[in-house]
Chain A
Amino acid sequence: MQPHFDALFAESVRSSPSLSPSSSSSSLSTHGATQAATQGGNYDEPPSKIDLRALDYVTDYDSHLMCPICHVPFLHPVVLECDHTFCNSCLKEYREGASSGARSRCPTCRAVLSSGPRKASRLIVNMCNETKVRCPNDDCQEVLPRGCVEHHATKECPHERLRCPDPKCDKLVKRRNHVPAQCIHISHIECDCGAVIELGKGEWLRHKDEDCPNTGVKCEECGQRISASDYPGHICNPDDDHSCPGKQYGCTDDFSPEDSEAHLKSCPLARLAPHLQKQSQLLQSLQEQLIMVKVRNEVLENGFEKIHDVLNDRVLPYVSHSDHSPAEASDIEEIERDHIPSALSQRDLLMPAHLGDLTPSADPDSLSISQTQQHLLALHESLRGNVSNIENNISTLTNTISDLDARTSMQIMNETLRIKEDLAHTSAALFSTRAQVQWLMNRERVGQQQQAMGIRGRAPSAQPPVSNQAPSARSSVSEGGDSSGQGQSLEGQPSASILGSSPSFRPQIRRQSGGSQERVKL
């Protein structure tokens, strides 16, 4: 057994302190100073009015300063022959309880001791007394070195409760309200917030309703009474306010809201709550990670499905069309050579039996999930490579197609141009023909008029009016309204449309056939 003792003791010496709120009392705290100088250790330990071990040690301290027996920084440390240090009172308690054999041994290393303990060095004492603690008095938030806390808490703390100076009064009064040789309880009442209020003036109710930071104000939302100091950060949730933080971990104590502070100081579950909280947070974060892993898996699966679809919809059609398009045959053959085998192998890889089994299951076996995930990732990568190859080929195909397209459209353009030119020639020819026809017709008409005038015996001096009268004559003919005049005017239209180069005129003319003939001619 002996060999592993050393390990055990090493472990016990190494044990580090950790922070915790204070406990109200300690079974180790029963030590007086009266028998301090015992066993040769000439140690003068002054009596302590407060339990320094039960204090709330607010900062971390060196684990070497922790007494291996009471687990707080040494109080009045003593050193044994073997160089191990203990609180004077812890060592004393140990020796009083131990059998005579153990009494002369060191609790840590079991060395047999021939002489009594000696005082530890001033350095150790000072370092231990430097550790920061919170004032043990209710409502006092003061943090100060442990060496000063006793003086503060029992001599100057405004929140310390003193006995009422009146021996007949059994009430307590906070130091800040303490008046020497006078009982304030007869005429005043001391609120637990520390305020002293004169009785009989309605001040007390006013204080409780408006001023008191402890009872505070009524929330308009939830009707709950919140201390004025807490009111700005108040959240309307009646359950949250006065419950013990250890409640969810099993604290079943019932206490009124006023006692909650006292309860928090005494409830061990409330102190363990932060640790339990940390654990549950850890658990939660692990669960979240698991969910994220699952989501990633799903994403990967979707990716596979898409890739599969792409392979099916885009690559296979190309392959099956290759026979019908001789122009692109060479490209298609390349695709065929490059990608059909891989497409097949991908389809084999796509739905391996274990993949379908693993991903949807809620089994939180993170190891297998991460393995699967890696496997999936690898698959995903290789598929992505293949798909990008395919996409490259598709894009070269697209290029070829657009080339062809360009060529075809060029041809069409050329054709169209030629046709347009021909058309222009034709219409030019038509125009000249029409002009000739008109000229000829005009000549004929003039000739007929001259003949008519010649028949009437008129002088040929009427030549100028001829040009003026010719249209009017024409119009009079058309105004005759018979079908022949209509036909004549219609015959004149093509020339008009060609001159105005506006074919859209035609229906208008037709509609206005009655009155607008002149306009057409103008």
Chain B
Amino acid sequence: MALPKRIIKETERLMAEPVPGISAVPHEDNLRYFDVSIHGPSQSPYEGGIFKLELFLPEDYPMTPPKIRFLTKIYHPNIDKLGRICLDVLKSNWSPALQIRTILLSIQALLGAPNPDDPLANDVAQRWKEDQEAAIQTAREWTKTHAMT
């Protein structure tokens, strides 16, 4: 189990100085696999919800981005049914200068600022554009049913 220094240091820092509203805990048996939970940002339809995610650091991390997806169901134009996230920093815009904590921060920011013009879940994005009020209401209901237990 040879873990690069960088992963150890990132994990240490995540434990020692956690980001407010975000927690990331490595699995005991696989230190590249993290259980993540993100609190829905205030002033957003996800406020009050706690969303569970899984994060995996691939073999060539940090040269390739971490793999991350939502485990909690969420109604969001940039997150699909399987929990996959459409976020440029997780794909083409990844940089090895980014870290687990910055990625989780940007996911939290994405909850606060949905971007229906760069959709992953097409039907959600469509609805978001046509009737934003109703879409936000649905997101709020989903948060209540799935992310508040």
Q: Indicate whether A and B interact.
A: yes
Select the stretch in A16-24, A142-150, A361-369, A394-402 that faces chain B. Answer: A16-24
Residues of B within 8 A of A110 (CB): 93, 95
The verdict on A8 contacting chain B, using a C-beta distance below 8 Å, is yes
Contact of B15 with A250 in the complex, beta carbons under 8 Å: no
Among candidates B29, B88, B102, residue contacting A11 with C-beta atoms closer than 8 Å = B102
Given contacts A20-B9, A279-B15, contact A250 B29 (CB under 8 A): yes
Interface size class of A (residues with CB under 8 A): 35 or more
The verdict on A9 contacting chain B, using a C-beta distance below 8 Å, is yes
Q: What residue in chain A is nearest B15 (Cβ atoms)? A: A275
Contact of A8 with B4 in the complex, beta carbons under 8 Å: no
Contact of A26 with B5 in the complex, beta carbons under 8 Å: yes
The smallest beta-carbon distance between B12 and chain A, in angstroms, is 5
The smallest beta-carbon distance between A405 and chain B, in angstroms, is 72
The smallest beta-carbon distance between A104 and chain B, in angstroms, is 13
The smallest beta-carbon distance between A444 and chain B, in angstroms, is 124
The verdict on B37 contacting chain A, using a C-beta distance below 8 Å, is no
| CA distance in complex: A23, B7 (Å) | 11
The number of chain B residues with a CB under 8 A from chain A is 41
Contact of B4 with A28 in the complex, beta carbons under 8 Å: yes
Residues of B within 8 A of A72 (CB): 5-6
Contact of A18 with B13 in the complex, beta carbons under 8 Å: yes
Q: What residue in chain B is nearest A29 (Cβ atoms)? A: B4
The smallest beta-carbon distance between B125 and chain A, in angstroms, is 15
Contact of B1 with A107 in the complex, beta carbons under 8 Å: no
| CA distance in complex: A269, B28 (Å) | 8
Residues of A within 8 A of B88 (CB): 1
The verdict on A232 contacting chain B, using a C-beta distance below 8 Å, is no
Contact of B99 with A15 in the complex, beta carbons under 8 Å: yes
Contact of B115 with A68 in the complex, beta carbons under 8 Å: no
Contact of B106 with A4 in the complex, beta carbons under 8 Å: yes
Q: What residue in chain A is nearest B99 (Cβ atoms)? A: A12
The verdict on B143 contacting chain A, using a C-beta distance below 8 Å, is no
The verdict on B59 contacting chain A, using a C-beta distance below 8 Å, is yes
| CA distance in complex: A299, B118 (Å) | 63
Among candidates A8, A18, A25, A68, residue contacting B2 with C-beta atoms closer than 8 Å = A25
Contact of B12 with A108 in the complex, beta carbons under 8 Å: no
| Most chain A beta-carbon neighbours within 10 Å: one of B4, B9, B11, B106 | B9
Given contacts A94-B63, A279-B15, contact A23 B96 (CB under 8 A): no
B contact face: mostly helix, strand, loop, or mixed: loop
The verdict on B60 contacting chain A, using a C-beta distance below 8 Å, is yes
Contact of B115 with A1 in the complex, beta carbons under 8 Å: yes
Given contacts A5-B89, A97-B63, A97-B64, contact A23 B4 (CB under 8 A): yes
The smallest beta-carbon distance between B37 and chain A, in angstroms, is 17
Contact of A71 with B12 in the complex, beta carbons under 8 Å: no
Contact of A107 with B2 in the complex, beta carbons under 8 Å: no
Contact of B16 with A18 in the complex, beta carbons under 8 Å: yes
Contact of B6 with A71 in the complex, beta carbons under 8 Å: yes
The smallest beta-carbon distance between A82 and chain B, in angstroms, is 12
Contact of B95 with A108 in the complex, beta carbons under 8 Å: yes
Residues of A within 8 A of B96 (CB): 68-69, 90, 94, 107
| CA distance in complex: A235, B5 (Å) | 34
Residues of B within 8 A of A271 (CB): 8, 12
Q: Which of A229-257 contact B (CB under 8 A)?
A: 249-252
Given contacts A8-B102, A11-B102, contact A23 B97 (CB under 8 A): no
The verdict on B10 contacting chain A, using a C-beta distance below 8 Å, is yes
The smallest beta-carbon distance between A126 and chain B, in angstroms, is 22
Residues of B within 8 A of A490 (CB): none
The verdict on A276 contacting chain B, using a C-beta distance below 8 Å, is yes
The verdict on A520 contacting chain B, using a C-beta distance below 8 Å, is no
Contact of A268 with B1 in the complex, beta carbons under 8 Å: yes
The verdict on A27 contacting chain B, using a C-beta distance below 8 Å, is yes
Residues of A within 8 A of B60 (CB): 27, 97
The smallest beta-carbon distance between A13 and chain B, in angstroms, is 8
The smallest beta-carbon distance between B134 and chain A, in angstroms, is 25
Contact of A68 with B16 in the complex, beta carbons under 8 Å: no
Residues of A within 8 A of B89 (CB): 5, 8
Contact of A68 with B97 in the complex, beta carbons under 8 Å: yes
Q: What residue in chain A is nearest B9 (Cβ atoms)? A: A71
Residues of B within 8 A of A23 (CB): 2-5, 8
Contact of A27 with B4 in the complex, beta carbons under 8 Å: yes
| CA distance in complex: A27, B102 (Å) | 22
The smallest beta-carbon distance between B15 and chain A, in angstroms, is 5
| CA distance in complex: A99, B63 (Å) | 11
The verdict on B98 contacting chain A, using a C-beta distance below 8 Å, is yes
The verdict on B109 contacting chain A, using a C-beta distance below 8 Å, is yes
Q: Which of A13-46 contact B (CB under 8 A)?
A: 13, 15-18, 20, 22-28
Given contacts A1-B115, A4-B109, A268-B8, contact A69 B97 (CB under 8 A): yes
Contact of A27 with B2 in the complex, beta carbons under 8 Å: yes
Contact of A54 with B5 in the complex, beta carbons under 8 Å: yes
| CA distance in complex: A28, B8 (Å) | 13
Contact of B12 with A249 in the complex, beta carbons under 8 Å: no
The verdict on B101 contacting chain A, using a C-beta distance below 8 Å, is yes
The verdict on A266 contacting chain B, using a C-beta distance below 8 Å, is yes
Residues of A within 8 A of B71 (CB): none
The smallest beta-carbon distance between A278 and chain B, in angstroms, is 8
Given contacts A69-B62, A94-B63, A97-B63, contact A20 B8 (CB under 8 A): yes
| CA distance in complex: A70, B87 (Å) | 23
Residues of B within 8 A of A93 (CB): 63
The verdict on B53 contacting chain A, using a C-beta distance below 8 Å, is no
Having A1-B87, A23-B8, A70-B6, one finds 7 other A-B pairs with CB under 8 Å, namely A18-B16, A20-B9, A53-B5, A68-B97, A72-B5, A99-B92, A279-B15
Q: Supply 19 A–B pairs (Cβ within 8 Å), ascending by A.
A: A1-B87, A4-B113, A7-B105, A8-B106, A11-B105, A12-B102, A15-B101, A24-B2, A26-B2, A28-B4, A54-B5, A99-B92, A108-B95, A110-B93, A251-B28, A266-B1, A268-B31, A272-B12, A272-B26
Which 9 interchain pairs have the tightest Cβ spacing?
A: A250-B28, A68-B97, A107-B95, A71-B6, A107-B97, A69-B96, A108-B97, A8-B102, A97-B63
